[in-house]
Amino acid sequence: MNIDFLQVVTVLGTVVCVLGVLACLYVARTRFDQTESELRRISLGVARVPALEFAKLLAFGALIVFPAGAVFFANYHTFEGVHEVRGCAGCHVMLPMVNDMMDPKSMTLAARHFRNKWIAENQCYHCHSDYGLGGNLEAKMTGFRHLARYTTRTYHEPIHARVRFDNKNCLNCHARTPKFEAVQSHHTAGRKLAANEMICLNCHGQAHPTSLQRTPGSADYARLMGRTP
């Protein structure tokens, strides 16, 4: 049986949430000022503890420990989920990029990388590892802003990236490979590429469909918005 790590997190997260709800229900019904509850004892199997002390301990678990666990598992789910292509395709504004990438006839850079399996998995994340919820703190804040704007529908199509694409995303894989080193212009423009004064796409073409193609009503829009399998 092949169990995915994400499935383990899903099960653990659900268990923590269920335990948290049960503990909270107990705490909500507990009368902490009743003196008889101080005298009553609860058996925990290995020890008998006063009911009031048990309720206080459970309140700490229900309102601090279980929520911390649930938030940890859910955030793990968030930050692992955004690595997957289907995580990106979950938002319909990203469908043109994802559908184009999976189109065997497309000649965009993303499609060529996908078709030739130059990147084995998590193709979106590999080239955009510094952007959105998978990146650094600033990128995560941008990701949360995108999430807020998407779910409140306060965006306009076609969407535009507000940040400049960092060449490091390409150079992480391509720099110092024999094929890369064999091209003279890479050495000539090396300093500019490293400083992001010139971007890889200047010579290597469009990475994704153009803004015009992604504009609602355009000839390519319906094709690009087709749902991914």
Partner 1 sequence: MRLLQWESWCAILAFALTAFFILSPGPYPMAIFTFIAQPLFAIAGLGYIVKVIQDVRRHTFPAVEERSPSVQAATASAQQTRS
- Nearer residue to partner 1 within complex by CB, 29 or 105: 29
Q: Which parts of 76-95 interact with partner 1 (CB under 8 A)?
A: 77-78, 81, 87, 90-91
What angle, 0 to 180 degrees and rounded to 10, lies between the N-to-C axes of helices 51-60 and 5-29?
Answer: 140
The answer to the question of residue 4 lying near partner 1 (CB under 8 A) is no
The answer to the question of residue 107 lying near partner 1 (CB under 8 A) is no
Q: Which stretch binds partner 1 (CB under 8 A): 42-50, 75-83, 160-168, 207-215?
A: 75-83
Q: Which stretch binds partner 1 (CB under 8 A): 24-32, 105-113, 118-126, 171-179?
A: 24-32
For the CB of residue 122, give the shortest distance to partner 1 in the complex, in Å: 16
The answer to the question of residue 50 lying near partner 1 (CB under 8 A) is no
Binding site for partner 1 (CB under 8 A): 9-10, 13-14, 17-18, 20-21, 24-25, 27-33, 59-60, 62-64, 66-67, 70-71, 73-74, 77-78, 81, 87, 90-91, 144, 147-148, 150-151
